[in-house]
Amino acid sequence: MASVKRAYMDSLSKPLTLSQKVFVRSRKGKATKVVQEHYLRTDIPCSSQLCSTCSLNPPKDSSGTARPFVLSSDPPSVKSWGPHYLVPDTNIYMKAMDLLEHFAAFYDVIVLQTALDELRNLSLPLYNRLRALTRSQEKRFYVFHNEFRLETFVQRLEGETINDQNDRAIRNACVWYCVHLQEAVAGTGKSAPAILLLSDDKDNIKKAKELGIVCTTLEPYVKELPQADTLLDMIVVESDEGSSGPNQYSYPEYYSTSRIQGGIKEGLLHQGILNINQYNFLEGSVSVAGFERPLLILGRESINRAMHGDIVVIELLARDQWKQPSTKIIEEEAVTKNDNPEDDTQESIVTAQERRALIEEAHQAQHSSAEFRVQPTAKVVGIVKRNWRSYVGHIDASSVPADVASARRQSSVFLIPMNKCIPKIRLRTRQAANLLGKRILAAVDSWEPTSRYPEGHFIRTLGDIETKDAETEALLLEYDVQYHQFTQAVLDCLPKEGHGWRVPTDTSDPLWKGRKDLRDLLVCSIDPPNCQDIDDALHARSLPNGNFEIGVHIADVSHFVKPDTAMDTEAASRGTTVYLVDKRIDMLPVLLGTDLCSLKPYVERFAFSAIWEMTPDAEIVNTSFTKSVIRSKEAFSYEQAQLRIDDKSMTDDLTQGMRTLLRLSKILRQKRMDAGALNLASPEVKVQTESETSDPMEVEVKQLRETNSLVEEFMLLANISVAAKIYEAFPQSAMLRRHAPPPATNFEVLADQLRVCKGMTLRCDTSRVLADSLDNCADPDEPYLNTLIRIMATRCMLAAEYFCSGTMTYPEFAHYGLASPIYTHWTSPIRRYADVVAHRQLAAAINYEILHPSLRDKPKLEQVCQNINQRHRNAQFAGRASIEYYVGQALKSREIDAEGYVMKVFSNGFIVFVPQFGVEGPIHLRDLGNPEPPCNFDEERYTLVFREGTDKETKLQLFDRVVVHVETVVEESTGKRKVALRLKKPLVV
């Protein structure tokens, strides 16, 4: 301990302010001297509740309130080290963040500024997770700014590396804490807790022991914690480099960084996001600028350890090696089901079965004369950015050793992810037997060239497979939906009056400033049944000149959610509200979303109003925007509004206003269609659930009424009007939404399918031409065929996206699907953060308030757009996955025959879409008989001819209407209960 005290006393001789002169060279070569000053203080607290010295002068927040100390006076204790505060170094944060987040251990942790800053430079996602831990009141993680405390600051020594300096700073902080706490408890009869340095850096541990610092590596520490078996499984197993034997196969090595950079610069290499085919795990594709079609990546060697969503570098193969997309359904579980997770020494990267599948594809391509199907083919030669995240799945029972339950030894097992685009992950675990039948969360740590599978570690169990809570949490995790409770810092941003908040009765109140009093207007809302977060309301009234005043009134969320607040940061991070069958994951706290912002009937609410004067032909005479106060007269469901409009006995002013809105909406819709707007489709069903248990009861196809279109048209008009206004005011930073025109090649296959199978012509020269073609793709004998074609056409489109106006030229702003030159989202600020940004920009555009600086910052807005684009997509996927789960549960004990349509034909099966349940699924030839019945696949005619047993030949073609037997099974490959389809006889012809 003498060395600890000596180091502490030596540190007190440092100055309070350090200056450093550096020279910064400009692009033109001019050198500028910059003086950097580093201020050191003695009042940065230790934040231990045992310390009376630091508590005399606690730090205060912006309101002058003293911040409570974080570290407990009774920290956790383990056998070898007793009560202690934990000080991890940077490598622990890099490899054990899942451990640190676990509820069973790791409390009272001192996060040193040195480690925090180093982590930020190494991994921003891990840095953000650590920051979240420091905001958690339960975990008690305290950020100690050691680089600004006089006694703990260290200067870099001559010849010392930055890494060595950081390690020395961490050790120095441990020394200070140890001495400081001993002095704090002196004379109190209490014992100071140990300061335990946690590191897996051997050199750091050695030097710490020389200073008398209590220290240990991660695994021995974890072994003494509660739930040690679970926690040990969460430790990242580092790869053993150079372990490959002489006979071992290997993936190709990635190109060097310099070769990749040079190749991209010269146009010899390309980069893009890898997408794996959900029906064939051996096929991927990468969309690259300059190529009309995605580049194909075929086979395990060419995919080369890249995973779905990775940003990869690819090299184009010679033209004679170009292939066409797969014509087979190839599932990883069927091909690799006999693999041994323990055998990682003599394995071949590509199995014989995989090679046979690829050879069959090559033979099929040779016999095809459809040149347009051949696509440029490439191989992965490098990874720019891994998309590794936490994956949800289940343990492959066949990979668990028979004696594992009794041996309680660590063994290798396979995790089969829920997402079929993700390969099996090899895990090392001591609890394999206990994890069978569970939905679990795991992370990928590495993928070595000599291993067929990525290596990962267990994080936690979600619950039993098929249970509602486990499956719901699984899909939220799978699609990265932020479903944690709102922090206290966010809740502190809410009005103190809570549900008792009211619009001030006195119109001279400052909150009324700049607002119009529109409470006398006959405003109503029209939404789905039981809607609580009501974003929008409408009104219509006649004007003396024969025109109409039309108003769209939107919840004034920006009044309650201010920039640079905890609530705004959280809303920006979540990006959108996520709607599941049985619950809603809110972007904003419930107090705002379903009460204070929601435009509920019979109560006064702040709103942001767009008001137009329109002629009877729906021509816009003028447009205005204003902050307002409204009082909605009624909240209708779509069905209720339709019934009221259709009821001729209803002649009151509110009903007449709704009829005016409906009539004008039809004219607006026709104008959009005439301009080339697309009427696309998606398979939409709704699940009726039991009110108390949320158990599914029935599955119904969504019914769209005229009132659905009424609301849609005026929301579109409002969004287009606002987009023009904010772009006019802020041409460099307006929050807009675009839908790029799809490449003509996207429709080549669908156009050929319609020509061959139905004798129909599909053209896509412009959106108007495409819209007309889709209208003509109809068959009076097959009423649903046109909807099916529109669903397939929708999948040929590019995704719409948010963007900052200053990053593109005006022609690129256009929304292809809506046939509008400019567009934004403004009408749903309760559930979309993009709308909140648009509200703030519109408020500034009409001089209601000054625009916050962050809304002029293009780089920051681009970051916001990037996040909300991803969140929006994930929310859609999560919603669909929730419906899929509940459809499966609703049909769990039922077997039904239903009509379906053949959507895709493969050489070993076909995909059928069932409109009644909004699901599609494969029917494999192998399921029609054992052995698999022989077949004749005509790729150019999109037909599959096969014979079941002694039955006559069955011929299927794309778009055929069939009868299928619908039941549900637990899918072996994913552990999910899914709708399973079986072909019935006779076929419907």
SS (H, E, C) 931-948: CCCCEEEECCCCEEEEEC
Burial class (CB in 10 A: 0-12, 13-18, 19+), 499: exposed
- Give CA–CA dist 848/78, Å, rounded: 60
Q: Spell 361-383 as b/e; 16+ CB within 10 A means b.
A: beebbeeeeeeebbbbbbbbbbb
Pairing of strands 634-637, 524-527: parallel
What is the reported pLDDT for 31? 67
What is the reported pLDDT for 336? 67
Residue with tokens 């039941």: 967
- Give CA–CA dist 10/3, Å, rounded: 11
- Give CA–CA dist 692/178, Å, rounded: 55
Strands (E) in 751-849, as ranges, are 801-804
End-to-end Cα separation, the chain, in angstroms: 89
DSSP, collapsed to helix, strand or coil, labels residue 758 as helix
Count of Cβ atoms closer than 10 Å to residue 607 Cβ: 27
- Give CA–CA dist 419/878, Å, rounded: 12
Residues with Cβ < 8 Å from 579, sequence gap 6 or more? 875, 879
Count of Cβ atoms closer than 10 Å to residue 258 Cβ: 8
User: In this structure, are residues 803 and 737 in contact, taking their beta carbons and an 8 Å threshold?
Assistant: yes
Take residue 635 and report the two structure tokens written for it: 């909240």
Count of Cβ atoms closer than 10 Å to residue 695 Cβ: 13
Name the DSSP letter for residue 375: B
User: In this structure, are residues 743 and 749 in contact, taking their beta carbons and an 8 Å threshold?
Assistant: no
What is the reported pLDDT for 14? 47
Q: Is the peptide bond between 45 and the residue preceding it cis, with omega within 30 degrees of 0?
A: no
Name the DSSP letter for residue 871: H
Take residue 260 and report the two structure tokens written for it: 């990749």
Take residue 570 and report the two structure tokens written for it: 């959280």
Take residue 780 and report the two structure tokens written for it: 């009076």
Q: By C-alpha distance, which of 743, 741, 739, 869 is closest to 815?
A: 739
User: In this structure, are residues 439 and 474 in contact, taking their beta carbons and an 8 Å threshold?
Assistant: yes
Taking the chain (989 residues) in runs of 10, the rounded mean pLDDT of each run is: 47 52 60 70 90 83 77 92 95 91 91 94 88 88 93 91 94 95 88 94 94 94 88 74 50 93 92 92 89 88 94 91 82 67 58 57 48 80 92 90 65 91 91 90 92 91 92 93 92 95 95 96 94 95 97 97 95 96 94 96 97 97 97 96 96 96 97 92 81 78 91 97 97 96 91 94 93 93 92 93 95 95 97 98 97 93 95 94 88 87 92 91 85 87 84 87 90 78 71
Residues pairing with 394 in the sheet: 416
CA distance to 638, 639, 695, 697, 894, per residue, from 691 (Å): 20, 20, 8, 10, 21
Measure CA 841 to chain center: 26
Q: What is the pTM of this model?
A: 0.84
- Give CA–CA dist 44/42, Å, rounded: 6
- Give CA–CA dist 683/917, Å, rounded: 9
Take residue 944 and report the two structure tokens written for it: 């599959």
Count of Cβ atoms closer than 10 Å to residue 138 Cβ: 8
User: In this structure, are residues 747 and 762 in contact, taking their beta carbons and an 8 Å threshold?
Assistant: yes
Pairing of strands 295-298, 280-286: antiparallel
Residues with Cβ < 8 Å from 261, sequence gap 6 or more? none
- Give CA–CA dist 366/360, Å, rounded: 10
DSSP, collapsed to helix, strand or coil, labels residue 177 as helix
**H helix runs in 795-908, sequence order:** 833-845, 858-890
DSSP, collapsed to helix, strand or coil, labels residue 22 as strand
Long-range CB pairs of 155-164, under 8 A, 24+ apart, other chains included: 155/18
Take residue 4 and report the two structure tokens written for it: 């600890």
- Phi, psi angles (nearest 5°) of residue 877: -65, -40
What is the reported pLDDT for 629? 97
Take residue 713 and report the two structure tokens written for it: 């048209």
What is the number of residues in the chain?
A: 989
State which H helix or E strand residue 982 sits in.
strand 977-983
